Amino acid sequence: MLLFELSFPILVDESKLYFDGIGTSYNNSLNIKGGTSCSLCSYFNSFSAGKYRKYTLAQNITFNIKIQGFAEIFIKRENGNIITSRLIENSKPEALSITFSIIDAKDGEIFYPEISAKSDCQIFGGSYETKVSSQRDILLGASFCTYKREKYIISNMERLRDFGLKYSIPLKVFVVDNGSTLPETLSDNTITIIHNPNCGGSGGFARGLLEGVNFGCSHIIFLDDDISLDTNVILKTYSLLKILKPEYYDSFIGGAMLHSEIPYLQHECGALWDGFYLSPIGHEVDLRKKESVIANEKLQKADYQAWWYCCFPTSFGEKFGYPMPYFIKSDDVEYGIRCQKPIITMNGIAVWHDGFDGKYAGHFEYYIKRNELINTALHNKNTGIITNIRKLFASTARLTLLQRYFLAELVVKAYDDFMEGPEKLLSIDIAEYNTYLSSLAKPANDKSIIGNAKIISKPKIVNSALYYPSFGGNIFPSKNICIELPLTDIEIRKTFRARYIAHTKADGSTAFVTKLKKRKLFWVVGKTIRMFFKFLTKYKKVRADYIHNQEKLTSKQYWQNYFSK
């Protein structure tokens, strides 16, 4: 059975993600100069021996390679010890197979091939295979949720269509189009376009899961529409599902996120949730380095898997329910925590994804805070009153110091809506409510308000001992300056005594300009204090209501009713 094929740089030009040594890649082949060695101890081409031993029925693996030239091919452990080797010499491309055992592989250990070229050699491809007597029948579904991103989604559709033609793998692709802009004529035997109301990622993925269940898929992969996808990842996922040990049938298979802008840099490989805060695993790891590739297989157990690439059995819908109707943000967190099932990650199962700085929108502040509150209410064993109150004050204070008063109000509204209990979620039309929230988060971009203020593109960071006791300098008269700050990842101490702030996008253009309004600042503080008392007195009852109504909010019936409107 084919597990996966060797990959060479196609989607990104980062050779060390694929091989290490003096070699050049061209047209899905690899040229190695005589007298040099080329190692496949890389992120995409090494073999996750420890994880295949732990999670699957595989015991012996066959490495296949098609090569021309005189070379010795080694299979090595991650410490460099040789497991086995073969010598080959030919004047034309010839297939060679080497079989090795993974029975003694340690947890998280990788094995890898290394080619020692005695003459100039050329590799025309390769693969890993195994023979397993017991294999499951898998009908794999893949669900994209998209909204007016034709450039990305059509490219991914074409890759999957080509993938279906190349491999005899039962695959059905559902493209849930929340914008209803993709022609339904793009549908074929492999791909189905589904026009859906704009109910966000939560509703889009819920629809994808429903369609997968109705089609008879055994498993579904949730994928973001704006990823760059090497379809070898789909092959690797499918073959893994086929040979899983029975005790791991009910597992997630998670794909890491690599940065599109910096293709060798890993953003996340699974993530943790401590009941209040999220933290990525394997954050900012340089996967060009051998030591990073080895360490990446030994990362800690994840609590949830983000939905840029997340595969799981469709039976989870019946066992654990469907996504919460959050619209966007933290629906993947909540689902992973709710299911409480193992998350299998592995080198080579990954997608490239744009960073999040360019995707920021003001109303995200509402969704982040409201959905965090619901997640904590449902899944944190402690009540969470003190931490949630602290987060309320921290969020509104930060946004007011950034002069984003309208967003501070949205945070208070998130708390207010949460305090209305699950009936609020059950009663609203999430698409219409998103339109309403978006309208509250659109400040005027009037640069003329800064007048003759001095523009400072690189403001200095003020000492904390001065900044925080003076509430960002707001107890002093403001200076007639306009500082430029990014929309995200902000060092807030740069705002000291600034009268204006130009909030800039990732490309450097101005998103909007704000002006210091001390009366508005104190008004937001007042609303925050009132919410503090409301939260303190009513939180326990509201939390109990969410727990009691969780099954109703995540039911198949809820989403069927919504989609039938």
Residue 556 lies in a domain: no
**Same domain assignment for residues 374 and 406:** yes
Chain segment 81-92, per-residue pLDDT in tens: 999 999 999 999
User: Of 312, 334, 355, which marks where a domain is finished?
Assistant: 355
Chain segment 370-416, per-residue pLDDT in tens: 999 999 999 997 778 999 999 999 999 999 999 999 999 999 999 99
**Same domain assignment for residues 47 and 160:** no
Residue 559 lies in a domain: no
**Same domain assignment for residues 419 and 490:** yes
Chain segment 413-441, per-residue pLDDT in tens: 999 999 999 999 999 999 999 999 999 98
CATH number of the domain to which 167 belongs? 3.90.550.60
Residue 341 lies in a domain: yes
**Same domain assignment for residues 372 and 240:** no
Residue 13 lies in a domain: yes
- DSSP for 515-530, please give it: E--HHHHHHHHHHHHH
User: Of 334, 355, 376, which marks where a domain is finished?
Assistant: 355
**Same domain assignment for residues 105 and 201:** no
**Same domain assignment for residues 447 and 344:** no
Chain segment 473-518, per-residue pLDDT in tens: 999 999 999 999 998 889 999 999 999 999 998 788 888 999 999 9
Chain segment 225-266, per-residue pLDDT in tens: 999 999 999 999 999 999 999 999 999 999 999 999 999 999
Q: What is the CA radius of gyration of the chain?
A: 26
**Same domain assignment for residues 116 and 44:** yes
Give the range of the structural domain holding residue 327, as residue numbers without chain letter.
140-355
**Same domain assignment for residues 146 and 123:** no
| For residue 11, pLDDT beyond 70 | no
User: Of 482, 504, 520, which marks where a domain is finished?
Assistant: 520
Please give the Cα distance from 182 to 104 (Å, whole number): 50
Residue 557 lies in a domain: no
**Same domain assignment for residues 473 and 324:** no
> How far from the centroid of its chain's Cα atoms is residue 17's Cα?
19
Residue 498 lies in a domain: yes
Bridge partner residues of 191 (DSSP): 173
Mean pLDDT, the chain, whole residue set: 94
CATH number of the domain to which 42 belongs? 2.60.120.260
Residue 558 lies in a domain: no
**Same domain assignment for residues 381 and 291:** no
**Same domain assignment for residues 189 and 275:** yes
**Same domain assignment for residues 88 and 220:** no
Instruction: Please tell me the predicted confidence (pLDDT) of residue 486.
Output: 92
Please give the Cα distance from 520 to 399 (Å, whole number): 12
Residue 230 lies in a domain: yes
Please give the Cα distance from 27 to 532 (Å, whole number): 62
Q: Structurally, how many domains does the chain consist of?
A: 3
Predicted confidence band at 443 (pLDDT cuts at 50, 70, 90)?
confident
